[in-house]
Structures are given as C-alpha cells and as structure tokens.
Amino acid sequence: MTAVRITKCDGKTFADFIVAGTYFLRKYRSVVNDLNVFPVPDGDTGTNMFFTVRSAMIEACKVKSREIKVVAAAAAQGALMGARGNSGVIISQMFRGFAHAVRHKAAIETIDFATALDEGVQAARQALLKPVEGTILSVASAAANAAFKSAVSEKDFYSVVHAVVSAANEALEKTPDQLAVLKEANVVDAGGQGFVYFMEGVVRMLPGRAPYTTAFPRKPIRAATFTTRQKVDVNRYCTEFVLTDATIDADSFRALLLPQGDSLIVAGGEGTIRVHIHTDFPQRVADSAREHGVVSKLKIDNMEEQHNVLVVDREAKPRGIVAVVPGEGFVKIAKELGADVSVLGGATMNPSVKDLLVAVNKVLAPVVYLLPNDKNVILSAREVGALTDRKVVVVPTRTIPDGIAALFALVNTAADAQPAPEELLAESTVAVSGSIFAAGRDASIGGVAVKQHQLVGAVDARDGRPERLIDGDDAAGIALAMLRDAGDASLLSLYYGANRKLKDAEAVAETVRAANPQLAVEVYYGGQASSDYVISIER
Amino acid sequence: MSWRYAIVTDSTADMGPLAAANGVTVVPLTIRFGNEEFRDGVDLSSEQFYAKLETSPQPPITAQPTPAAFEAAYRRLLDEGAEHVLSLHVSSSLSGTYNSAALAASTVDPARISVLDTRSVSAGLAMLAIGARKLLDSGASPAEVLNALRGDIPHVELFATIPNLTYLARGGRIGGLRGMLGNVLKIVPILKVEDGVVAEQAKVRTFNRAVDQLVETAIKRIPAKGSARVAVLHSVAPDLAASVGERMRSGVAPSSLITCEIGPTVGTHAGPGAVGVCFIP
C-alpha cells in the first residue's frame, strides 16, 4: 500500500490505470497462456486479453480530454475494435459497460467506480448466451462486489482497487471448484487470472510516474512497445467538422457517430460541437450531422490515398462470404467453395474484431456471411455487424470442418439467396470434428492422460457430447479410434498441417482405408500450425 | 415390321434394345478415336467403347449425324410405307443433331416429317420416344402426339452424377459448369438437364452421397405416387443402377420404369460409372 491517495479519477487517471493494467498483462500474458487448459494447448488467452486491453489503451491515450466519459468511451471502442478471442470480447464488454456507467461524468469517485465496474460485469454477462461460472465472469463479479463493499466507506482508489484484487484472487482460487475441467487439470481459470493481473497492475501504479519505472525491473520503451499502430484499410478518411446550431448534445451525437468509424472525438456543447472521426463514410457522417445542425469547416482527408482497396469497376454481387481459416491450405479450399475473403486465424491467434471488419468490408456485397470456424471467434464475429454498413450474417461454425460443411451448404443455394445460419448448420453431416497434435504439456482430460510431446487426438464437442481426448499409438491409430467414436461414416477428410508432409498424411490415409474399405478417405493440405492433422468425419 | 407412323431419334437417346421394341429408328452419331471413326451403336458397342476409352491414347470426339444420314433414314421409312415420321432429338443446345435432322426433313418432305427439339438427352429422349409410340398405339394422330410431347417436354427432369469430372471437362460440354471443376477439393456435382443444357444442381463431397441425394431429390420432385414415368441411366454401373431403380420403385411407385445404358456419345462426356434418374411426373 502506498501513502499516496487518489480520491478522484478523471479521464487522465483512468487512462493511466489502463496503461498500468495493460503493462502488467503484457508482462504476465505467457503465464495466462499456460493456464489455458483445454483442448490441451490452446494457449492464447493471455495474448488475446493483452491485445484487447492494449487496443483500449491506445485509444484512451489518444484522447486529449481529461473527462473520464470521453476517455472511457474511447477505451471501450478501442477494446471492441481490438477484441480477440472470447476473453477479449468479454473484456471489451466490460469496458463498454464501464463507459456507459460514467457517460455523464468528468471525473468519478470510488463509489462511481464500483457502480461502473458492476455495470461492466453485467454487460459482459449479457454478451454471453450461456454465462459459465468458474471463469473470468465469476472473478469479475467478485471484484465488483468487493469494490462496492469497500467504496461505501473508502474514498481512496488504491484501497478500493486493493480490495478488488484480493477478492478477485480469492474468487480465482475457487474457479477449479466451479469448473471440473479446471480441477482435473489442476489450474485456475486463465481469463480470471488475466483479470487479476490487469487489476494488480492498476494497484501497482503510482500517480505522476509511469508504472513500469518503479514496479518492474525490465523497462519497455513506451513508444516502441505501446504506441505503434498497425496500418489498416478501414476508416481511411480523417473527417473533421464543426456542428453549429446543434439540436443534439455531444453525448448523443457521439453515440450516433460511434458505429461509423474510430478515433472518434466529439467535443463541445451549448449548440457547438466539434467532431473528429476516422471513417470510411465521410459523406454519410456529414449528412447525418446535417440533420442535427449546420456543418461547417468540413475537412476530409484520405489517410491512405495510395491504398485503394475497393476495385470500383467490379460489380457488387448479392452475397459474399468471409471465412476464418487456420492455415494457407484452408484458404485455397475456402476460396474454391466460394469464400471471397479468408482471414487467417486458428487456435494460436484469433483474429480481432477489426481483422474481421476489414475482411467484411473488403467484400463487394451488401450481405456478407461470416464463418468464424472456431468457437473462440464466434463472439468477435458477432460484434462486426454493428460496425459496418453491410448486413453481416454470422454462421456460428465452431470448427473448420463445420465451416467447410457450411460453405458446401451455402454454395448449394442460389447466388442471391439468404439462408438462415440454422439452415446452413442443419445441412452439415459432420459427425466428428477433431485434430491430432503433440500435447503441449502433461495433461489429463476425461480420464485420458497424456505426456508432453505425445501425439494425441482431441474431438470437439458435438451433439451434446463434450470435448474429449482420443488416445492412440500413432496418428493412424488415433484416426481409427475417432472413426469408431463416430459410428456410421461415409467420408473421412484428413487435412495435414504445416509441420507435416503429404506422404505422412497419405500413410495415415492408407491405413484408415485398409481398415475401412467402404469409407471414402480424402487428403488435403490444411497448413494449420496448431495441429498435425485436422480430421473431419462425416455421415 | 413396318409402322404406319414412324418414330426417329438419335443415338444420344441411349435406347439400346428399347428402340426396336418400341419401333424407334435410331440414327447414330459418330465417335472418332484418332483416325478411327465409328457409328454409335452400329459398329461400336457400349462395351467396346468403354474399353477403348480406357486404352486409347486419344480421347474420343463425337460428331452429329450428317443431314444425309437423316435423309436416308427418312426416305427409307417413307418408302416402307410410313405416313408420317416423328423425329425426336437431343437438345439443340447440346448438339447440332437437331439441325441436321431439320435440314434433312425440309429436303425430303417437310409435310410428312415433324422434327422436335426435346431439350433433353439420354433417358429423357428415350422416355419421350416410348411415350410417343404408346400414344400412337392408342390411336392418337401424329399432330396429337406432337402436342402431347410439347406438353411433356417442360416436365422432363434428369438428374445425374458422375464420379470423374475429367471426361466432362475434356468434352467441353460444361458451359456454365466451368466453375465447379475444383482444383483443390474433390467435389462431386449433381448435374441436371434444365432448359436444354447441363447445369449444376448441387456440389457434394462424395459420389455415394451424390447418388443418395439425387434419388432423394427425384423422389421429392415427384408429387403424385403411382403415375410418374421413370428411367434410370448409367454407364457401366448396372448394380448401382439396379439399386437406384429399386429405391425409385419403392419411393414413387412409377407407372413405368426403364433402364438406359449410357452409350458412346453421351459416355464420351460422362465417362464410366455415372448414374442418373430421369422422370416425367
């Protein structure tokens, strides 16, 4: 504990909090990654959370205003745009709920902080169809309760956040009792741990000094570590104008413009509002502004003049497809099945909401089918629709074999048809979707024990059966065991990864064919980094 | 045996023994392997053709019958006493056969020879020809039969699947199907004959599933049980054809069920192993 007291948190302090939390998460992201237990080495929760809060931090630090409502809104937008994986989306919803709670405030006190934290947790819970206890949600809920209890009598932010960290830590220790899969692996929840680290970073911060100068021995250089921005091909127009005789207040106007771009600043009041936004639709922004006042000093700059993404002489088609795929081989397969744009993703690096948005905006079609093909990308995919003028139809495909089945279903509909996602999923005949990989660590799941580096199979949850490990002497043995697990099957597709050769895959296929003469066995290059083989067994 | 009303078709009808049984005269298309030329079904049987398809270094090329071949057939039939000739042919969008026939008819005796573009092929053509004979047998006039055929033509549906796309690609009759020929993924198409051309009905992962799906599609598209005319077509796949026929029989209880063996001309494009279902609901 420190003798320094902070009793007011304005936008600047809030941004400092985020910087501190981000720094801590960056430092410990690999610890969080290692906690990620199933199916064995998914290993990206820490990285996902770090990228998400980093994006929040970048936007928060860009804001000139000292008002927390402005900074929190920018952070929320940043988190949303940078959200990766489930944990990232959950974090971004927390930021969003927090920003909503402080939307009228220039600065907050501890009790406001507690209320805002609670609203953040509620927002995250609402974003999930089925909130699961024993995860980051339980940890964050405990944190919010502790914040409230403490803030009732305590005005100092350090004391309150300290109470938050203690309570979050306690809740984290309980997660193995709430979630059997954690218990078996003897770990705490990775997302919950990430949340604790972030809050711990906040506690370690000292006002007036950057946290890393005192808290940590290794000193990252701020400019190089935190502020480099990737160039992206969305929101290319820096648009600025002044709205006079405004019939709308700045907050409502901000809310109106928020979905239209990023780096949004809406400042002013009393009938005059100044707007700065990076958008792809400057005229639309200006037009919508004209409904609420007189637009002047309109300035539109193309930030990437040389980078013309849209080929204008190409005809828009009625429907486009974006698929997230785990490897180069799958890019070709998806393209052949009609995908306009593929986004490389996969278990080790989930694409951010922004990556998905860029891909969706590349498609020259008013309706875009988005196939996440990974259960950890579905939530991010669902956020894209609100950020683009295209109609985004998310087909919640949980694995790449599901995605290929959905592409087949989609390609078999008329070019202008808009089948519902459920219809496409219902067409699937996938009985088993799984993978074969070298275990990243010793683990025991569902009674199957594996040693590090041992080849093991994992079958994804389906038809009410949970995810499970499949044992076998070698890749062919595991494939045959999966086949037995599948029951009736007519087709087994083997997609070999980047670390395998065609002849390895052919040898596995030959063994499977020899044991199942009636079965069609097909071998394709998938190019995924996360596994040796992706296996799809269809009825 | 001579008929009062003659029916002529071309060898794309894949009628085999059904031609003679129904009093249908078949004018052959020609198949050329390199420098060797054969008349479909006359000096090249299906068996010989598929054997040659495997061994010949040169892929076969098909050619429509010459107008002279049709002229000869029409003159012979009229000489034998036919009052009228109904000449039913493969879709003019797939072959120039119809043009040859029409040209020959205008030369010989346009008033006594009616040439019809059936917009179909293979078993579709065969069913229409057999249907025409049945109507004539029941006393209908050639004009009435033509009307009935024109009524049937829009309702003829043919679905087929082929295990190997190389023949179709090589034959060049793929038109709008070009996009379906995958380079990476093994894709089995279900084809349909629609508006006189071959189109793609669906893409599926395996041949067995394609067969299942085309049978299901056919059964679904026949609303009234007990009345549809059904034909099964196949190239060197008699067992598969028999099982498909069985499934159609139990699925729709057809009023008639014939089996057509895909001959050299259509086989040049389909290759061996193809199977299909054709029906007039």
Mean pLDDT value of segment A290-305: 75
Q: Measure A337 CA to nearest chain B CA, in Å.
A: 9
Domain A319-420 sits in which CATH superfamily? Phosphotransferase system, mannose-type IIA component (3.40.50.510)
Q: Does domain B5-29+64-153 have CATH number 3.40.50.1820?
A: no
Write out residues 209-248 of B within 8 Å (CB-CB) of A.
209
pLDDT at A150: 93
Q: Is the pLDDT of residue A303 over 80?
A: no
Q: Is the pLDDT of residue B231 over 90?
A: yes
Q: Which of A2-16, A21-35, B12-26 has the highest mean pLDDT?
A: B12-26
Residue from the list B183, B204, B206 with its beta carbon closest to the beta carbon of A336: B183
Residues forming beta bridges with residue A383, ordered by sequence position:
none
A520 interfaces chain B, CB cutoff of 8 Å:
yes
Q: Is the pLDDT of residue A522 over 80?
A: yes
Write out residues 247-266 of B within 8 Å (CB-CB) of A.
none
Q: Inspect the interface and report whether the beta carbons of A520 and B183 lie closer than 8 Å.
A: no
pLDDT at A137: 92
A333 interfaces chain B, CB cutoff of 8 Å:
yes
Closest CA to B271 of B192, B173, B185: B173
Write out residues 213-232 of A within 8 Å (CB-CB) of B.
none
Contacts (Cβ under 8 Å, ≥6 apart) of A304: A231, A233, A236
pLDDT at A465: 86
Q: Inspect the interface and report whether the beta carbons of B209 and A411 lie closer than 8 Å.
A: no
Q: Inspect the interface and report whether the beta carbons of A491 and B184 lie closer than 8 Å.
A: no
> pLDDT for B124-156, tens place per residue?
999 999 999 999 999 999 999 999 999 999 999
Q: Inspect the interface and report whether the beta carbons of A336 and B185 lie closer than 8 Å.
A: yes
Q: What is the DSSP letter of B194?
A: E
Q: Measure A525 CA to nearest chain B CA, in Å.
A: 9
Q: Is the pLDDT of residue A212 over 70?
A: no
Measured torsion, CA atoms of residues A207, A210, A211, A217, in degrees rounded to the nearest 10: -140
Closest CA to B281 of B217, B229, B245: B229
pTM: 0.65
Q: Measure B241 CA to nearest chain A CA, in Å.
A: 18
**From the candidates A333, A408, A534, A538, which should be mutated to test the interface with B, based on the most B CB atoms within 10 A?**
A408
Q: In this structure, what token pair is assigned to residue A524?
A: 């394709």
> Would you call the peptide bond into A466 cis, given omega within 30 degrees of 0 as the criterion?
no
Q: Inspect the interface and report whether the beta carbons of B185 and A337 lie closer than 8 Å.
A: yes
Which of A261-275, A395-409, A426-440, B4-18 has the lowest average pLDDT? A261-275
d(CA B220, CA B217): 5
Q: Which of A276-280, A298-302, B266-270 has the highest mean pLDDT?
A: B266-270
Query: What is the interface size between A and B, counted as CB pairs within 8 Å?
Result: 34
Closest CA to A217 of A32, A27, A50: A27
- Options 1.20.120, 3.40.50, 3.30.70, 1.10.3470; CATH of A237-302: 3.30.70
> pLDDT for A424-479, tens place per residue?
999 888 999 999 998 877 777 777 777 878 899 999 888 888 888 888 889 999 99
Q: What is the DSSP letter of A102?
A: T
> pLDDT for A137-171, tens place per residue?
999 999 999 999 999 899 999 889 989 988 999 99
d(CA B175, CA B162): 16
Domain A9-217 sits in which CATH superfamily? DhaL domain (1.25.40.340)
- Options 1.10.287, 3.40.50, 3.30.1180, 1.10.3470; CATH of A430-538: 3.30.1180
Residue from the list A429, A522, A538 with its beta carbon closest to the beta carbon of B186: A522
Mean pLDDT value of segment A408-416: 88
Q: Is the pLDDT of residue A216 over 50?
A: no
Q: Measure B184 CA to nearest chain A CA, in Å.
A: 6
**Alpha-helical runs (H) found in A370-442:** 378-384, 400-411, 421-426
Tell me if A369 sits within 8 A of A320, measured CB to CB: yes
Tell me if A117 sits within 8 A of A88, measured CB to CB: no
d(CA A257, CA A238): 13
d(CA A194, CA A226): 18
A411 interfaces chain B, CB cutoff of 8 Å:
yes
Residue from the list B182, B183, B203 with its beta carbon closest to the beta carbon of A412: B203
> pLDDT for B52-70, tens place per residue?
998 988 889 888 898 889 9
Q: Is the pLDDT of residue A519 over 50?
A: yes
pLDDT at A128: 66
- Chain A residues whose CB is inside 8 A of the B206 CB are 490-491, 520
Contacts (Cβ under 8 Å, ≥6 apart) of B219: B247, B248, B251, B252
CATH number of B156-280: 3.30.1180.10
Write out residues 472-501 of A within 8 Å (CB-CB) of B.
490-491, 493
The ipTM value here is 0.75
- Chain A residues whose CB is inside 8 A of the B184 CB are 329, 332-333, 336, 524
The secondary structure of A353-377 as a DSSP string is HHHHHHHHHHS-SSEEEEE--STTT
Provide the residue ranges of all domains of chain A, joining segments of one domain with +.
9-217, 237-302, 319-420, 430-538
A337 interfaces chain B, CB cutoff of 8 Å:
yes
Q: Inspect the interface and report whether the beta carbons of B184 and A524 lie closer than 8 Å.
A: yes
d(CA B167, CA B264): 12
Higher pLDDT, B240 or A244: B240
pLDDT at A67: 95
The confidence band for A280, taking pLDDT boundaries of 50, 70 and 90, is confident
- Chain B residues whose CB is inside 8 A of the A523 CB are none
Q: Inspect the interface and report whether the beta carbons of A408 and B186 lie closer than 8 Å.
A: no
Q: Inspect the interface and report whether the beta carbons of B203 and A408 lie closer than 8 Å.
A: yes
- Chain A residues whose CB is inside 8 A of the B203 CB are 408, 411-412
Q: Is the pLDDT of residue A230 over 50?
A: no
Q: Is the pLDDT of residue B250 over 60?
A: yes
The confidence band for A106, taking pLDDT boundaries of 50, 70 and 90, is very high
- Chain B residues whose CB is inside 8 A of the A493 CB are 205
- Chain B residues whose CB is inside 8 A of the A430 CB are none
A518: closest chain B residue by CA: B208
Q: Measure A522 CA to nearest chain B CA, in Å.
A: 8
Q: Measure A408 CA to nearest chain B CA, in Å.
A: 7
Mean pLDDT value of segment A323-351: 88
> pLDDT for A247-269, tens place per residue?
888 778 888 888 887 766 666 55
**From the candidates B205, B209, B212, which should be mutated to test the interface with A, based on the most A CB atoms within 10 A?**
B205
